[in-house]
């Protein structure tokens, strides 16, 4: 009898080890990896930027919120394009260089960057900085966690979820495949109600799928021309979501 009990216990333990992290039972569980665990960064400049966003949010009057990493932060270097395209829409830019999904997740949860604003639309593009440390499914988990948190905190806001932009010069570079895998997963978040997925990556590429330095000087960050492409690609959809 004792041997039988031990066998049952061991069998149950073995089964538990193979339970999917997405298993939904009496209590939902989250995937156990860094991309979904909210994390702050300690760099003083990062803390200062985050604090600045919190203060900006307290002032309110934001209809369109851009949320992301250095590619989003880079709108600061294309102010003319930003003002012409988005200025009339009451925008705010909450992008921070180097951020991964877990950092953005912390900023909108424990960091409380959304307090004080009720954006009508949120433009989210995040995940490229997770490429080196996470699997494609983990990156997608991180993006999903952010989208769900945005839906939870601001249920009336429309989330314009952008596919991760292409990076690296050639279409044969391995990171391109990983980006494709991530985008295929997060595209499924589009529900036509709160979340709208848009992949504009092809607009940055030439006819052979290559990135040029004219568009992305370091094959990651956009030039002013690149930001103009971004603006032109999303403005119609953004205006649609805003009812303009």
Is residue 90 classed exposed, middle or buried when 0-12, 13-18 and 19+ CB atoms within 10 A define those classes? middle
Backbone dihedral angles phi then psi of residue 124, each to the nearest 5 degrees: -115, 125
Which one of 70, 168, 173, 190 is the catalytic residue? Answer: 70
Roughly what angle, to the nearest 10 degrees, separates helices 224-242 and 79-86?
20
Tokens of 198: 């848009």
The Cα 16–Cα 66 span in angstroms is: 40
Instruction: Determine the Cα angle at 44 with ends 163 and 135, to 5°.
Output: 30
Concerning whether 50 is annotated as a catalytic residue, the answer is no
Q: In what order do the strands lie in the sheet with 91-95?
A: 91-95, 64-68, 121-125, 158-162, 195-198
Q: Is 214 in a helix, a strand, or coil?
A: coil
Tokens of 108: 């909108």
C-alpha torsion 64→188→140→237, nearest 10: -20
Concerning whether 218 is annotated as a catalytic residue, the answer is yes
Which one of 43, 51, 206, 218 is the catalytic residue? Answer: 218
Which one of 50, 63, 221, 223 is the catalytic residue? Answer: 221
Concerning whether 223 is annotated as a catalytic residue, the answer is no
Catalytic residues: 70, 218, 221
């Amino acid at each position: 009898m004792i041997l039988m009990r031990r066998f049952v216990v061991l069998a149950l333990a073995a089964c538990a080890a193979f339970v999917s992290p997405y298993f939904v039972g009496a209590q939902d569980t989250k995937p156990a990896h860094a991309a979904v665990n909210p994390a702050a960064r300690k760099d003083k400049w990062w803390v200062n930027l985050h604090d600045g966003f919190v203060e900006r949010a307290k002032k309110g009057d934001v209809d369109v919120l851009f949320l992301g990493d250095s590619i989003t932060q880079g709108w600061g270097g294309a102010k003319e394009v930003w003002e012409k395209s988005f200025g009339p829409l009451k925008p705010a830019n909450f992008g921070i260089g180097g951020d991964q999904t877990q950092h953005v997740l912390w900023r909108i949860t424990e960091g409380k960057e959304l307090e004080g604003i009720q954006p009508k639309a949120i433009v989210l593009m995040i995940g490229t900085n997770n490429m080196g440390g996470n699997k494609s499914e983990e990156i997608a988990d991180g993006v999903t966690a952010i989208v769900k948190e945005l839906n939870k905190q601001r249920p009336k806001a429309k989330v314009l979820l952008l596919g991760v932009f292409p990076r690296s010069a050639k279409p044969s570079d391995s990171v391109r495949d990983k980006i494709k895998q991530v985008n295929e997963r997060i595209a499924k978040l589009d529900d036509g109600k709160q979340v709208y997925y848009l992949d504009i990556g092809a607009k940055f590429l030439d006819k052979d799928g290559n990135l040029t330095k004219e568009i992305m000087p370091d094959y990651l960050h956009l030039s002013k021309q690149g930001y103009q492409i971004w603006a032109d690609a999303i403005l119609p959809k953004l205006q649609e979501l805003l009812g303009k």
